[in-house]
Amino acid sequence: MGGPQRELTQWIEDNAGSGKVTSFSGGGGSGWASSSIVDTESGNRFFVKTSKRPSEAMFTGEAEGLRAMHATDTVTVPNVYHYGDLQEGDGSFIIMEHLEMRGSYSQAELGKQLAMMHLAEPLAEEAKAGKFGFPVKNTIGGTPQPNEWSGNYVQFFREKRLGHQLRLARDGTLSSLGKQLMDNLDSYFEGIEVKPCILHGDLWSGNIGGTSGGKPAIFDPACYYGHNEAEFGMSWCAGFGRDFYDAYFSVIPKEKGFEERKQIYLLYHYLNHYNLFGGGYYNSCLSILQDLTGQAYGGSSGGKFFDF
């Protein structure tokens, strides 16, 4: 048994009240972390993820995000038991509840429960006081996501979301169009009140599943306290159907300007995908920016960079 596996096994046996660990099997992974399923003699199972990155850069944000969503007692979210940096070797870990996934779930139930999560009282005192952000930094995929608190939502989204991604993109055309959009960003939120709510932040089909009881579950978050509509920024690959939207909007009705703001939230995630993977995501970013600003560019990546 290797160092990290021995260390994690020891913690589970000493603290989880489930007896001896009987197996520690691989469960897959991503480009940023690997996962394992841990069985114990009591029959309890745990889901463990490890990474070569330190906890502050990898699992602290995930753990605190899961805890913030779990505290709403709405949609099923795995409970976090422990996380931190490994003592034996480099890297970090998170130990959480294992959810037995069966694949199918009710879209209507997911829509209703997600809306209830968005209406729940925030866990963080700052969010209760009307601020936007999160107590710790986290990542959106492999991209660092700054979350410093702000009392102004438009300012937060301009600086910590769109501006951050545009700085990372280092593209003159996107930068120029992005500045035009962000100079006019307040106009998209006129006449509505934005209240801080806990967001999963990266809600696509790969982060949604059905538990053994057929209930929807969400995991692998990039949480922050923001505008509920921002949750639909990954809808282009989430598989949401009419039952989902009907259920969600029966709890939280659409507000004026929803469709235009949705494009802004889509843009954030397309920018992130461009920064992570490049390729065709550039054209998606360009198309949205052109639609929102009414500007037509020839596709050149030249031009001035702006320090948003």
- pLDDT (tens digit, 9 = 90+) per residue, 170-192? 999 999 999 999 999 999 999 99
Q: 255-306, pLDDT tens digit by residue?
A: 999 999 999 999 999 999 999 999 889 999 999 999 999 986 554 445 566 6
HSE, side-chain direction, 13 A CA sphere, residue 220: 18
**What would the two tokens of residue 283 be?**
């054209």
Label residue 230 by pLDDT band (50, 70, 90).
very high
Which pLDDT score, from 0 to 100, does residue 52 have? 87
Please state which architecture CATH assigns to domain 107-293: Alpha-Beta Complex (3.90)
Is-catalytic flag, 90? no
Taking the C-alpha atoms of residue 254 and residue 245, their distance in angstroms, rounded to an integer, is 10
How confident is the model at residue 93, as a pLDDT?
95
| pLDDT computed for residue 299 by the predictor | 47
The whole-chain average pLDDT of the chain stands at 93
- For the chain, residues classed under CATH 3.90.1200.10 are 107-293
Polymer length of the chain? 308
Domain with CATH 3.30.200.20 in the chain: 3-97
Residue 28 has pLDDT above 90, yes or no: no
Is the overall model pTM greater than 0.75, yes or no?
yes
Name the active-site residue from 171, 202, 243, 307.
Answer: 202
Please report the pLDDT score of residue 250 as a whole number. 98
Gap between the Cα atoms of 261 and 83, Å rounded: 36
What CATH topology corresponds to 3-97?
Phosphorylase Kinase; domain 1 (3.30.200)
pLDDT in tens, 120-157: 999 999 999 999 999 999 999 889 999 999 999 999 99
Q: Which residue has the tokens 């990542």?
A: 139
Comparing 198 with 302, the larger pLDDT belongs to 198
Sign of torsion over alpha carbons 257, 258, 263, 267: positive
How far is 56 from 15, CA to CA, in rounded Å?
23
Phi-psi region of 191 (alpha: psi -120 to 50; beta: other; left: phi over 0): left
Q: What is the 3-state secondary structure (H, E, C) of the chain?
A: CCHHHHHHHHHHHHHCCCCCEEEEEEEEECCCCEEEEEEECCCCEEEEEEECCCHHHCHHHHHHHHHHHHCCCCCECCCEEEEEECCCCCCEEEEEECCCECCCCCHHHHHHHHHHHHHCCCCCHHHHCCCEECCCCEEECCEEECCCCECCHHHHHHHHHHHHHHHHHCCHHHHHHHHHHHHCHHHHHCCCCCCCEEECCCCCHHHEEEECCCCEEECCCCCEEECHHHHHHHHHHCCCCHHHHHHHHHHCCCCCCHHHHHHHHHHHHHHHHHHHHCCCHHHHHHHHHHHHHCCCCCCCCCCCCCCC
